């Protein structure tokens, strides 16, 4: 078999392409979390009242919390079907490093769920009367922050993939880990609304991103080994 001699880059590309192909064949998997995101955000103006001032004050929080929940809903797909049909075990048994396989799967997950969220976000920001100065901050925090959500979420999914009713447990494990991202992202957007520099918060989110990018795949690999036993 020539596949044993694949370079790391080729392995990465192979897994990424496979996951993207599977996702594109189940388009509702991409669209449903996105619809959830949009619907949750539209609930707030209906519940709180349509005053533009109130809405623009709470818009960053609403968009970010909705993004957290939408990511949480989509996480299940990351390993579940692969675990059910046994391909996850085959991947773990392959001679390729787990780090690369896991990273490719997480990148695919972000491309399927995180990227569409970022593209829809400005539209929702208009609906919520987000302060005009905050759009840049919103996009930058989402761009840096949503990969963190996929990376940390992958740890939770890997831990719970073997459990039958893992859904509620997953949110219990993952949401506390999401809190720092939420705090710094909304703080950056609020600071931008005042016309002040928000590079400090952005730097912290970037640090969280690189920290989780380098460390999370190891934790995911270890957790998958436990889950597949």
Partner 1 sequence: MWKWLHPYANPEVSYHFTGKLIPWLSALTALFLSIGITWALAFAPADYQQGDSFRIFYLHVPAASLSMGIYVGMAIAAFTSMVWQFKLADASAAAMAPVGATFTAIALITGAAWGKPMWGTWWIWDARLTSELILLFLYLGVIALHNAFEDKNLAGKAAGILTLVGVINIPIIKYSVEWWNTLHQGSTVSKLGKPSMSIDMLWPFLFCFLGFALLVATIICIRFRSEILARNSIRPWVRALVAEHLLQEKNNAV
Q: Which two tokens stand for residue 26?
A: 């189940």
The residue among 96 and 160 lying less far from partner 1, judged by its C-beta, is 160
> Which residue among 118, 139, 175, 206 contacts partner 1 (CB under 8 A)?
175
The residue among 6 and 173 lying less far from partner 1, judged by its C-beta, is 173
Positive or negative, the CA dihedral 81, 40, 145, 170 is negative
| 173 near partner 1, rule: CB under 8 A | yes
Concatenated DSSP letters for 136-203? HHHHHHHHHHHHHHHHHHHHHHHHHTTSTTHHHHHHHHHHHHHHHHHHHHHHHHHHHHTT---HHHHH
- Count of CB atoms within 10 A of residue 49's CB? 9
The residue among 175 and 213 lying less far from partner 1, judged by its C-beta, is 175
| 213 near partner 1, rule: CB under 8 A | no
> Which residue among 71, 96, 201, 227 contacts partner 1 (CB under 8 A)?
227
The residue among 122 and 180 lying less far from partner 1, judged by its C-beta, is 180
CA distances (Å), origin 67, targets 75, 88, 99, 145: 12, 27, 26, 10
| 41 near partner 1, rule: CB under 8 A | no
The residues of the shown chain that bind partner 1, judged by CB under 8 A, are: 155, 159-160, 162-163, 166, 169, 172-173, 175-177, 179-180, 183, 219, 222-223, 226-227, 229
């Amino acid at each position: 078999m020539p596949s044993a001699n694949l370079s790391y880059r080729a392995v990465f590309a192979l897994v990424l392409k496979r996951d993207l192909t599977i996702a594109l064949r189940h388009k509702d998997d991409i669209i449903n979390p996105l619809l959830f995101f949009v619907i949750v955000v539209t609930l707030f103006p209906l519940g709180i009242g349509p005053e533009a001032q109130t809405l623009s004050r709470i818009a960053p929080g609403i968009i970010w919390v909705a993004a957290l929940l939408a990511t949480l809903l989509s996480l299940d797909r990351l390993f579940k079907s692969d675990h059910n049909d046994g391909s996850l075990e085959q991947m773990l048994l392959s001679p390729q490093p787990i780090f690369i396989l896991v990273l490719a799967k997480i990148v695919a997950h972000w491309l399927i769920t995180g990227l569409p969220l970022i593209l829809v976000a400005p539209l929702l920001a208009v609906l919520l009367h987000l302060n005009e100065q905050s759009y840049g901050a919103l996009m930058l925090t989402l761009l840096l922050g949503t990969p963190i959500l996929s990376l940390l979420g992958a740890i939770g999914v890997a831990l719970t993939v073997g459990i039958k009713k893992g859904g509620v447990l997953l949110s219990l494990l993952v949401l506390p880990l999401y809190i720092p991202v939420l705090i710094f992202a909304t703080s950056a957007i609020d600071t931008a609304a005042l016309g002040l520099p928000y590079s400090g918060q952005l730097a912290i989110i970037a640090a969280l991103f690189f920290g989780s990018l380098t460390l999370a795949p190891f934790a995911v690999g270890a957790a998958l080994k436990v889950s597949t036993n």
